[in-house]
Chains A and B, each alone.
Chain A
Amino acid sequence: MSLQMDELKTQHYDDKTVVHFLWATLFWGVIAFVVGLLAALQLSYWGFNLNLEWLTFGRVRPLHTNAAIFAFAGNAIFAGIYHSTQRLCRVRMFSDALSKIHFWGWQLIIVSAAITLPLGFSQSKEYAELEWPIDIAITLVWVVFAINFFMTLKNRKEKHMYVALWFYIATIITVAVLHIFNSIEIPVGYLNSYPVYAGIQDALVQWWYGHNAVAFFLTTPFLGLMYYYIPKAANRPVYSYKLSIIHFWALIFIYIWAGPHHLLNTALPDWAQTLGVVFSVMLWAPSWGGMINGILTLRGAWDLLRTDPIIKFLITAVTFYGMSTFEGPLLSIKAVSSLGHYTDWIVAHVHGGTLGWNGFLVFGMIYYLVPKLYQTDLYSKKLATLHFWIGLAGILIYYLSMWAAGITQGLMWRAINEAGQLVYPDFVETVTAIVPLYWVRALGGTLYIIGTIIMLYNLRQTVKASKGLREEKVTAPLTERKKNDHEDKGHRKLEGMMVTFSILSFIAIAVGSAIEIIPILTVNDYAKYEKVIEPFSPLEIAGRDIYIREGCYTCHSQMIRKLDFDVLRFGKASTIEESMYDRPFQWGSKRTGPDLARVGKKYPHLWHYKHMENPRSTVAGSIMPNYPWLLDKKTDFYSLRRKIYVLKSLGVPYADEVVKNADKVAEEQAKIIADELRAQGVNDDKLEQKEVVALIAYLQELGQKPLIRNINLEK
């Protein structure tokens, strides 16, 4: 073969790209953590938004999650994948140009997220908040990454693909599928759009995405990294090849089904919820397969756990993975979910995974990589060990405080006395009860950040003492792929077949996706003809877009679950029809404030006006921030015709007259509300133009829209 001609040529691995991704990981990591701390402090004391709309919790929270997941974890994944893939394939990355485009493209996406999210441009779909131009950019950069990765695989000099590569393959394919299908949206402006899915469909697609973002962005790539860096750092063989095979396929096949466990006890049809429960439970063992392989690889070298900070980080990370993947299935049991859902227990669960599993694995990997790439020793093992203990203390304080907060609040919500009444009917008292724990949580986060800063110092000193980065040479001669002296069989054969392996991975994740999502997409049909709800008026849509911009969903759900205590507190359980035109759906995932599904007409307009100006003027002890800018900013009536037009084209039954005159219709409704508010003493001549009026119009209709039958959709 022609490759034999190149036998004597040596190549360098592209370690520059690895280092770029590494420093980006650290840079964005610190920002993600600090923004997280800010969000934590805002829950401890509402004034920590400094009265700035850009720094208010509803906008800061998505900034934190996006930065932590896509900037911190994302860059770390890329660093690890670029480093390990080249070595596992014994070849340089396919294209330096693509590597550069990947790196800078990704950083640009992060920067655009860091600008647009605080400005309130958001789709409000969790971990998919970014608006459509950024969605397109993500797709393009991901395709660049995929080409670069798969072409490197194709060029590999190693016949078989190691288990780490299997996980990378599954990651790249599945993230692409998830991102594309969850992001199908119709633009209504440069940075505005409505998703094609509505209500229950949007909820299911979103949590299929959201759950599997955890699975295929925070789990499978990290398992791949684990499979490379633990054996390397410990210099021990992987515990069980067989286990790798079984748990890999079981994990990717089962994971994709578990999304509905985010929607237990809601209006989602029972069968989908049941599937969510059973597949989450079945996910327990495959997840632990990874943990077993990670931890038992250390067999015969347990002393490293005592002496080597890298091993400390890596093995603790895997232990947190084990805890989170036990807690996950547990929380997916409907009864447990009824206690934990919407509370800080979920926040605890997530941070056990992110701070423990993702964070510590990344730290371990970086402590391993930096000295290696710079061909020097780590400046201080002691400081690394200190980082480990401070970080661990931070995680435990975070975890335990949020566990206590979540379970306390969950128990308060569900307490019903002998007279059939809620024991804690006042929502705010279930919030003030746990505010002290929010302070404790902020302490945990602070410790975690201090640990990270110690690491930064340690790495800086390490690099300073080095002679700079030197790209490692491919030590093995560049022969063609090693040939076996015997024919491969079964899975071993598959490991030599990149394309077939990738197709099978795709099928594994496509089965569960199709079975769950396709039937729900057809729900639209029966809802259309049998039960139709009156859509929101143009002004209410304007208000709804403000609700989304401010990230109200980060603290308020709009989904009264089929649970007695939810019904006693908030009214009749929510139905599918009630959110059938909601683009995006606003069911929410956390109740820091009360559910709003039926808040309409519960309070007078003036109550809402005063509440937005200062929530504590109407609800003593509230931790909601003030929203004074809603009283000043003017409602965007201008874009309403376009918005209503797009919504109508998506099937919302608006009359043509309403589409044509959407802005005028809205202004008329605003006038009525403004007049009423003025009659009650609000002193503002231009009140009808203000955003607060549109928001009040929306809030007052929540849960109030009547069912209408046989509507003429042609009209």
Chain B
Amino acid sequence: MSSQDDDKLIEGHDYDGIQELNNPLPKWWMITFFLTIIFAIFYYAYYEILSGPSSDQELATKMQKVEAAQEAAKPSLDKIVASINREELRSDAQMMKKAKKIFKRKCAACHGREGQGMIGPNLTDKYWMHSKGDFKGVLEAIREGFPEKGMQAWKEIIDENQQLYLTEFVLGFQGTNPANPKEPQGELIE
């Protein structure tokens, strides 16, 4: 124990041999404490007494921005469908393989690995519940889903370009005859 400390020992403070020094509160510590208190006062005053935005307002502002960005980036389905060449899609073996993989991961749980239907409808027959079985209809079904029927919208989950190949892949089920097909649903479209 240095003699310098002995000077600062508080007389009479001895508990089971533990003594206490009389060091002052560290300055930087005091300043930190006061600064946090000042922050607290201003922060509380701004949000709860003055005109600080409520959490609902803050969310609304952010959502406006997000929705504006979505609006601006919205692709026109008609344009896309008009500009594609289905032959070209089909001939890109690599992308079609990827589409098959995506189908297995995301779609097969409901539509079956061979599109035979299970939780969701059969994709191999000529009966369609929502779309007319054309390219645009199936693409739209994939993109927007039918949330009320239990099919989710995939437009944000599956890459934009990849959706086209997936559509082509799904249409490729037409005319195949997998085992255990689900009974037809929807309307017959020849």
Contact = CB atoms under 8 A, between A and B. Distances in A.
A421 B70 contact: yes
A420 B33 CA distance: 41
A289 B29 CA distance: 8
Given A288-B32, A420-B73, A562-B55, A241 B150 contact: no
A242 interface: yes
Interface residues of B, number: 61
A604 B150 contact: yes
Contact of A426 (B22, B67, B157): B157
Interface stretch (A24-32, A278-286, A685-693): A278-286
Interface string B1-39: 110010001101101111111111110010011001101
Given A239-B23, A601-B147, A681-B118, A617 B109 contact: yes
Contacts of B109: 607, 610, 617-619
A212 B68 CA distance: 43
B179 interface: no
Contacts of B68: 420
Contacts of B32: 284-285, 288
Contact of B20 (A237, A273, A562): A237
Interface in B66-96: 66-73
B98 interface: no
Interface in A555-609: 562-564, 567-568, 573, 601-604, 606-607
B43 A242 contact: no
B150 A292 contact: no
Contacts of B55: 265, 270, 273, 562
Interface in B139-190: 147-150, 152, 156-157
Contact of B59 (A271, A274, A329, A567): A567
Given A274-B43, A420-B66, A484-B12, A607 B25 contact: no
Nearest to B160: A419
Nearest to B42: A278
A291 B73 CA distance: 53
B5 A237 contact: yes
A90 B37 CA distance: 40
B105 A620 contact: yes
Contact of A564 (B26, B33, B41, B66): B66
A322 B78 CA distance: 61
Nearest to B56: A562
A243 interface: yes
Interface in A151-172: 158, 160, 162
Contact of A288 (B29, B44, B118): B29
B1 A562 contact: no
A420 B156 CA distance: 10
Contacts of A47: none
Interface string B37-67: 1011101100110000011101100110111
Interface string A183-217: 00000000000000000000000000000000000
Nearest to A300: B2
B24 A607 contact: no
A270 B149 CA distance: 37
A277 interface: yes
Given A275-B44, A285-B33, A425-B156, A239 B21 contact: yes
B70 A279 contact: no
A37 B25 CA distance: 42
A602 B29 CA distance: 53
Interface stretch (A65-73, A128-136, A228-236): A228-236
A274 B47 contact: yes
Given A286-B33, A425-B157, A237 B21 contact: yes
A240 B1 CA distance: 15
Contacts of B16: 84, 87-88, 90, 162, 228, 232
Contacts of B149: 604
Nearest to A286: B33
Contacts of A610: 109, 119
B183 to A, nearest CB: 11
Contacts of A237: 1, 5, 9, 18-21
Nearest to B23: A240
A250 to B, nearest CB: 8
Given A278-B43, A282-B37, A425-B156, A162 B15 contact: yes
A115 interface: no
Contacts of A606: 118-119
A242 B150 contact: no
B166 to A, nearest CB: 15
A572 B150 CA distance: 18
Nearest to B63: A564
A459 interface: no
B25 to A, nearest CB: 6
A419 B70 contact: yes
A497 interface: no
A422 interface: yes
Contact of B36 (A87, A281, A292, A567): A281
Nearest to A284: B36
Nearest to A424: B157
Contact of B73 (A284, A418, A680): A418
Given A281-B43, A567-B63, 16 more contacts: A158-B15, A237-B19, A242-B23, A242-B25, A274-B43, A282-B36, A285-B32, A289-B29, A329-B36, A419-B73, A420-B67, A420-B68, A601-B148, A604-B149, A618-B109, A680-B118
Q: Which 4 A-B pairs have the closest CB atoms?
A: A420-B69, A419-B73, A285-B33, A278-B40
13 contacts: A87-B16, A237-B5, A237-B18, A240-B25, A241-B10, A420-B65, A420-B70, A420-B72, A421-B156, A425-B157, A601-B147, A602-B150, A680-B118
